[in-house]
């Protein structure tokens, strides 16, 4: 299972890349996409919307499930991956690159310290 070392994770299968400019890029892990199967629809937040950590921020739907995606950190949406509205399967094909979901400008960067490193995520996911 592909779980890149350079990223941070949540137990609920989101990944977080620190862009080092006060923003982060967020997506769902390869394990999550494997469990969901082929995605058919992605509902993303609008830029400017603000979310507290733990709030439902996006929805992904596959042929076999619909799932809420949680905000792993508090912040304001600065960009959503517009390409996914036409090609949701990109999340399956490239979960850590072309399949990213949205970017957040952090309102509480200290929360970053509570995310999981790759090893801890692997352990929590039982892989």
Q: Identify which of residues 1 and 20 has a Cβ nearer to another protein in the complex.
A: 1
Two tokens, residue 33:
């996409």
Of 113 and 126, the one with the shorter C-beta distance to another protein is 126
Locus of tokens 């400019």: 21
How far is the C-alpha of 57 from the C-alpha of 51, rounded, in Å?
Answer: 7
Residue placing its CB nearer to another protein in the complex, 62 or 74: 62
Which residue shows structure tokens 């995606």? 69
CB 46 within 8 A of CB 77: yes
Least CB distance from residue 32 to another protein, whole Å? 5
**Least separation in angstroms between CB 20 and another protein:** 25
In Å, how far are 22, 35, 48, 77 from 73, measured between CA atoms?
A: 12, 23, 15, 11
Phi, psi of 55 (to 5 degrees): -75, 155
C-beta closer to another protein: residue 13 or 103:
13
Least distance (Å) between residue 97 CB and another protein: 18
- Interface ranges with another protein (CB under 8 A): 12-14, 28, 32, 35-36, 60-70, 126
């Amino acid at each position: 299972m592909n779980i890149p070392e350079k990223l941070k994770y949540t137990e609920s299968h989101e990944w977080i890349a620190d862009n080092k400019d006060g923003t982060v890029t967020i997506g769902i892990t390869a394990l999550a996409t494997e469990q969901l199967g082929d995605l058919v629809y992605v509902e993303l937040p609008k830029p400017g919307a603000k979310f507290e950590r733990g709030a439902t921020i996006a929805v992904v739907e596959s042929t076999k499930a619909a799932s809420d995606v949680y905000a792993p950190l508090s912040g304001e949406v600065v960009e959503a991956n517009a390409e996914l509205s036409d090609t949701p399967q990109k999340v399956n094909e490239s979960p850590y690159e072309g399949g990213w979901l949205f970017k957040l400008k952090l309102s509480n960067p200290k929360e970053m310290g509570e995310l999981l490193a790759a090893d801890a995520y692997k352990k929590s996911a039982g892989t």
